[in-house]
Amino acid sequence: MLGLILRRLSISAVILLLVSMLVFVATLLLPGDPAQAMLGQQATPDRLEALREQMNLNDPFAERYLHWLGGLFVGDFGVSAASGGSVAELLGDRIAASLVLMALAAAISIPVGILVGTYSAMRRGKAGDHAATGISLVLAALPDFVIGIALVTLFSTTVFTVLPSVTMAPPGEQVWDYPSQLILPVLTLVLVVMPYIIRMMRTTMIEVLDSGYVEMARLKGVPERQVIWRHALPHAIAPVAQVVAIQLAWLAGGIVVVEFLFRYPGVGQALVDAVTNRDVQVVQALAMLIAAVYVVVNLLADIVGIVTNPKLRTGGTR
């Protein structure tokens, strides 16, 4: 089992390395000179040359790549071409703000999704099940910004005006000091993520409830509640863990649109700004950051899968 996990770990490391190459190649394709972009058209040739030297633009590409990659490990993400400031400084607070958003969305959608999916499976074919399946089918189809706009229209502008539609924290204060501003962004993410969890939970739960050992447990007179909680649920969780992981990984990218919509000061908003300004250093750093979250979450899901799979638990099989 340990060998399997180590193997999976090294695969993830290789994938991240290849992603970093892909992301770095993006700079090579960029038309124009980054130094020129930072200094503007009026820059003297001397200053351009000095800045190129300072940004290591005169080095061979391989060397620049290694320099950039080394920088990532020590938290040096380079210098923003748009603001001239350090990328790491620019992103510090924003990473925390985004993590809050993601964590809240995950903390709500996972348990609620599992509960609704289980409920739906237990009441298969009845009205409650139809409602849950229908709603999750519709929600799963809607793009995230459509859900977000619908919520804004409902709760903050047109129908009711009870919740703020944009995030506005004065500089120096943190977003979580204003919980009411978090409700709509978090709710949007929850509604985007949850349908997949509900659908997967329902499917696996139905499969498990039809299985021999659940029938056996019922036949020998185990109370229904115990059948669900002790016999069925644990078996249904493992495949759902994978879907949960995919959804969490999706959150890493999905926050981009939601943060932009609610003007939430996180990494997603920063990414959109950086793309609009064609600020390559920042885009690269954020792409790597999001890819890292994505890969790590998938890795964790696989490890959970390995650990919870009884066939691999004994160690003798490897």
Task: Tell me if 193 contacts other proteins by CB under 8 A.
Answer: no
C-beta of residue 86 within 8 angstroms of C-beta of residue 77: yes
Specify burial of residue 69 (Cβ count, 10 A radius: 0-12, 13-18, 19+): middle
**Nearer Cβ to other proteins, position 55 or 287?**
287
Q: How far apart are CA 239 and CA 159, in angstroms?
A: 40
Least gap, CB of 46 to other proteins (angstroms): 29
Least gap, CB of 70 to other proteins (angstroms): 20
Q: Which two tokens stand for residue 165?
A: 């539609």
Task: Tell me if 290 contacts other proteins by CB under 8 A.
Answer: yes
How many of the chain's residues bind other proteins (CB under 8 A)? 61
C-beta of residue 136 within 8 angstroms of C-beta of residue 201: no
Site string for other proteins, 5-44 (x = CB under 8 A): ------x---xx-xx--xx--x--xx--------------
Length of the chain: 318
Site string for other proteins, 255-274 (x = CB under 8 A): -xx--xx---------xx-x
Site string for other proteins, 210-249 (x = CB under 8 A): -----------------------------x--xx-xx--x
C-beta of residue 19 within 8 angstroms of C-beta of residue 288: yes
For residue 84, give Cα distances in angstroms to 7, 29, 32, 92, 197: 41, 22, 18, 16, 43
**Judged by CB under 8 A, which stretch of 93-101, 111-119, 228-236, 250-258 contacts other proteins?**
250-258
Q: Mention every residue, 6+ apart, whose C-beta is less than 8 A from residue 238.
A: 304, 305, 308, 309
Task: Tell me if 96 contacts other proteins by CB under 8 A.
Answer: no
Least gap, CB of 57 to other proteins (angstroms): 17
Cα dihedral sign, 191-197-202-203: positive
Q: How far apart are CA 316 and CA 311, in angstroms?
A: 10
Beta bridge partners of 79: 86
Q: How far apart are CA 222 and CA 228, in angstroms?
A: 10
**Nearer Cβ to other proteins, position 176 or 260?**
260
Q: Please, which of residues 151-190 interact with other proteins by CB under 8 A?
A: 152-153, 157-158, 165
Residue ranges binding other proteins (CB under 8 A): 11, 15-16, 18-19, 22-23, 26, 29-30, 137-138, 140-146, 149-150, 152-153, 157-158, 165, 200, 239, 242-243, 245-246, 249-250, 252-254, 256-257, 260-261, 271-272, 274-276, 278-280, 283-284, 286-287, 290-291, 294-295, 298, 301-302, 305
